[in-house]
Each structure stands twice: as structure tokens, then as C-alpha cells.
Amino acid sequence: MPRPHSVFITGASSGIGAALARRYAARGAAVGLFARRAVELDALTATLPAGRAVAYVGDVRDAAPLARAAADFIARFGPPDVVIANAGISRGVLTGEGNDLPAFRAVFDTNVIGLVHTFAPFLAAMNGAGQGALVGIASVAGFRGLPGSGAYSSSKAAAISYLESLRVEQRGTGVAVLTVCPGYIATPMTEQNPYPMPFLLDVDEAARRIVRAIDRRKCFYVLPWQMAVVGRLLRILPRPVYDAL
């Protein structure tokens, strides 16, 4: 596929989003950067080529700022070649803990509804152009339910199913829908994890691999490859065996 001329990324202030922004900007693309943290966004924008990076402050749980950002980005650069719904949060939760109910809602609103809020304002323009890619960052955590991670695992499982539905809906429009499922990536989200993280991948290397997968229009991509193998094994394990493990 030709190199994209314009890319819009949510959750762009750090981690995978920031690494993707740097990589696309280095390839000459105009990048729209959407995130909650203005200071971090401005710091990232200052490192990118002048006039080719535009920062938008907002929360993906709120459709209005994303709609405004999409309208401005399209006015500046036309329908984007790639939209990456990367914003996501993780919270440890337990269903029996009443204080965790707001965390459940925040995780679902960000990780699932945030995808819809990200793609919706771009879809008409991209369909009209008949080209582009909508990319959702899910997770291998969505393959099976993990104890203590009921919100995160189920939100990523929902994201995977939503992206699959959207992919089929978009068939024949020229707009591809891609699902990316990272394993453990060295980001601020994972650095607080108090447990071993097998096959931990450097964030810049992860961004390189994700960009390559997007270029190749891989409809479902798991990284690193070792986690793809683990994921396949997890999905075929009988429930009694999985529960015991």
C-alpha cells in the first residue's frame, strides 16, 4: 500500500500512541494527536515536523471533542488515510467490590465506546474517498477472561467483536478495518504491573511492527508473534482446563 499522507491517533500523548505518531511523522505523514493530557501532547508535538502535527485535547469517552477534532483535521488535510483508535485504560477490579463499579464503567466507556466515538466522525469522509484504514488497538487480554481484570479483558473482547462487525460492514467500501492485539509492551500502562510479563516488547519496535501490519492491511494482527501462539492456545483450551490453570 502507498505510504499514508495523514494519520489520526487517539491516546497519542504516551506509549504506543506517541510511538506511532513519531514513526508516521518520520515517514512524512501529517498526524492528528488526540489525548487528555495537554502538556504531554504539546511536548510531543514540539518534537515533530512543524505544521505536520496538530494536537487536540479531549477524552474519547466524550463524542463532542472527537467530532470537532475530526472536522478540523479533515478541513486541514482531507479524509485521513489511517485512523488509529489507541486510547485505552486498565484497572484492576472485582465485581463484589462496590467501589469498583465506576472503574468498570470508565474502562468500558474508554476501551469500547471510545472506538465508536473515534471512528464515527471520520467514516462518511473516508467512505466518500473510498480508501483508508480504521485501526483499533485491542489486546491479547481479550482472548480469555483474566482474574482481577474483568473490566479490561471483557472490554478488549468487546472491542475485538466490535471491530469484526465493523470490518464486515465496511466490506466493499475501500475502507479497511484492522484489529491489533498487542501482548506486553513497555509503556507507562505496563510499567506498574507487579507480575512477570513474558515477551515484553519495546514500544518503538511495537510501533514499527504495527505500522507494517497497517501498510499490509492485515485484518487481525497479534504482536509479538510469541503472543500470537499463546493466544491461539488460550482460545482452544477447554474451559475446565483454563479454569484450573
Coil, helix or strand for 153? helix
Sign of the CA dihedral 70, 25, 183, 82? positive
Q: Can you list the positions of beta strands (E) in the chain?
A: 6-10, 30-35, 53-57, 82-85, 132-137, 175-182, 185-186, 201-202, 220-223
Sign of the CA dihedral 34, 40, 43, 44? negative
Q: What is the DSSP letter of 176?
A: E
User: Which residue is catalytic, options 24, 56, 152, 184?
Assistant: 152
Sign of the CA dihedral 235, 140, 142, 8? negative
Cα(167)–Cα(161) distance, rounded to whole angstroms?
A: 10
Asked if the peptide bond before residue 196 counts as cis, ω within 30 degrees of 0, the response is no
Cα(227)–Cα(198) distance, rounded to whole angstroms?
A: 9
Residues 6+ apart with CB under 8 A from 151: 90, 91, 93, 100, 103, 104, 107, 108
Say which residue the cell 510531543 belongs to. Answer: 44
Reply yes or no on whether 152 is catalytic.
yes
Which are the catalytic amino acids? Answer: 152
